[in-house]
Amino acid sequence: MNAPERSAFMRTIIPIRASSLAELFDCPARWEAKHILGMRGPRSAAAQLGTAVHAGTALFDQSHLPGGTPLSADDAAGAVVDAIHKPEEEVDWEETAPRDAERIALALHTRYCGEIAPQQVYRGVEVKCESLELPDLGIALTGTTDRVREVGGSLGITDLKTGGRAVGADGRAVTQGHAVQLGVYELLAEHAMGLHITAPAQIVGMNTGKTPAAQRVGTGEVPNARAALIGTEESPGLLEHASRLIHSGAFYGNSKSFLCSAKYCPRHPVCTFKA
């Protein structure tokens, strides 16, 4: 950006997607490329597989909300297939063929509907928050919370995660490293629904293994997920750090990031930080 553009940028309320906050701290240059400069690359097969599972399970859970017409897992599976074979964005299927992604996604969808969903009491599915403005910080949080569930009279958020290591060998979802994102989802869900979120955040993990034995599903909880976001009078929270970083315009790169490659970063071919 030139000087006038930078000056205008500094006075702007900058939107931050909940799902991108961790990426901002991992590599600010990659975050700027995607979310400020609008640079795009094809989605990975793993990301599209996750999108497919989210689509099918959301349709299933929405149908089971009060007043809905319950669908079976098979009825909702069409959304999984459509997401794989009719993606809304370009997908790089180089490492995983669409038919293999479909097989894995359908298996996880079926396991979720049969093993996880019956244990949940959902009050909201795909709860969207257009914007939660924080004027003092010059940012606005946006995003969609996967689920809001009832737990013993309280409400908590549930986030679905797919991946090769989403569930540990002990059968529990891996929660480490997700607290910041979950905390943002709590704030967004409260704002969107006008209700207090006080129960521990929950992750539903689903392993994208190639064999049935490797396709584990499990849950895990993260209490007080938003603590690191808010901070205290003595110690600024991560939202304040994010605001300072974004409005400073100091979008430095991180060549040691696990995602520092052309596959994950649209800026990589021209990035000066990758050496």
**Residue 103 resides in a domain:** yes
Given 87, 119, 151, which residue is the final one in a domain?
A: 119
Both tokens of 139, joined, read 């940012």
Based on the fold, state whether residues 12 and 138 are members of the same structural domain.
Answer: yes
**pLDDT for residue 70 is more than 60:** yes
> Phi-psi category of 126—alpha, beta or left, where left has phi over 0 and alpha has psi -120 to 50?
left
Both tokens of 58, joined, read 């959301």
**pLDDT for residue 175 is more than 60:** yes
The confidence band for 1, taking pLDDT boundaries of 50, 70 and 90, is very low
Based on the fold, state whether residues 158 and 46 are members of the same structural domain.
Answer: no
**Residue 112 resides in a domain:** yes
Q: Which of 114, 216, 119 is nearest to 171 (CA)?
A: 216
Q: How big is the CA angle at 112 (ends 185 and 91), to the nearest 5 degrees?
A: 70
Query: Kind of pairing, strands 217-222 and 201-207?
Result: antiparallel
Q: Which of 21, 43, 156 is nearest to 98 (CA)?
A: 43
Q: Which of 183, 180, 126, 123 is nearest to 153 (CA)?
A: 123
The confidence band for 11, taking pLDDT boundaries of 50, 70 and 90, is low
Based on the fold, state whether residues 87 and 133 are members of the same structural domain.
Answer: no
Based on the fold, state whether residues 6 and 130 are members of the same structural domain.
Answer: yes
Q: What is the pLDDT of residues 73-93, one digit of tens each?
A: 999 999 999 999 999 989 998
Proportion of the chain above pLDDT 90, given as a percent = 84
Proportion of the chain above pLDDT 70, given as a percent = 96
Based on the fold, state whether residues 179 and 156 are members of the same structural domain.
Answer: yes
**Residue 159 resides in a domain:** yes
Task: Output the pLDDT for position 12.
Answer: 83
**Residue 256 resides in a domain:** no
pTM greater than 0.75 (yes/no): yes
- Of the listed ranges 60-64, 111-115, 154-158, 255-259, the least confidently predicted one is 255-259
The C-alpha atoms of residue 149 and residue 192 are separated, in whole angstroms, by: 14
CA–CA distance from 16 to each of 102, 132, 200, 246 (Å)? 31, 10, 23, 10
Give the residue, 80 or 177, on which the prediction is more confident.
80
**pLDDT for residue 10 is more than 60:** no
Q: What is the pLDDT of residues 28-47, one digit of tens each?
A: 999 999 999 999 888 899 99
Q: What element of type H or E holds 73?
A: helix 73-85
**Residue 171 resides in a domain:** yes
**pLDDT for residue 49 is more than 90:** yes
Q: How many structural domains is the chain composed of? A: 2
Based on the fold, state whether residues 201 and 158 are members of the same structural domain.
Answer: yes
**Residue 262 resides in a domain:** no
- The DSSP code for 35 is H
Q: Which of 212, 209, 189 is nearest to 199 (CA)?
A: 189
Based on the fold, state whether residues 82 and 217 are members of the same structural domain.
Answer: no
Q: What is the pLDDT of residues 185-212, one digit of tens each?
A: 999 999 999 999 999 999 999 999 999 9
Query: Contact, 98 vs 116, CB < 8 A?
Result: no
Based on the fold, state whether residues 231 and 125 are members of the same structural domain.
Answer: yes
Based on the fold, state whether residues 169 and 231 are members of the same structural domain.
Answer: yes
What are 246's strand-pairing partners?
none
**Residue 54 resides in a domain:** yes
Task: Output the pLDDT for position 6.
Answer: 47
First to last CA, the chain: 23
Given 119, 138, 155, which residue is the final one in a domain?
A: 119
The C-alpha atoms of residue 183 and residue 224 are separated, in whole angstroms, by: 8
Q: How big is the CA angle at 161 (ends 100 and 28), to the nearest 5 degrees?
A: 105
Residue 263 identity (one-letter amino acid): K
Q: What domain range includes position 57? A: 42-119
Based on the fold, state whether residues 48 and 176 are members of the same structural domain.
Answer: no
Given 119, 135, 155, which residue is the final one in a domain?
A: 119
The C-alpha atoms of residue 153 and residue 78 are separated, in whole angstroms, by: 34
Burial class (CB in 10 A: 0-12, 13-18, 19+), 66: exposed
**Residue 213 resides in a domain:** yes
Based on the fold, state whether residues 145 and 225 are members of the same structural domain.
Answer: yes
Task: Output the pLDDT for position 263.
Answer: 86
Based on the fold, state whether residues 220 and 164 are members of the same structural domain.
Answer: yes
Give the residue, 7 or 206, on which the prediction is more confident.
206
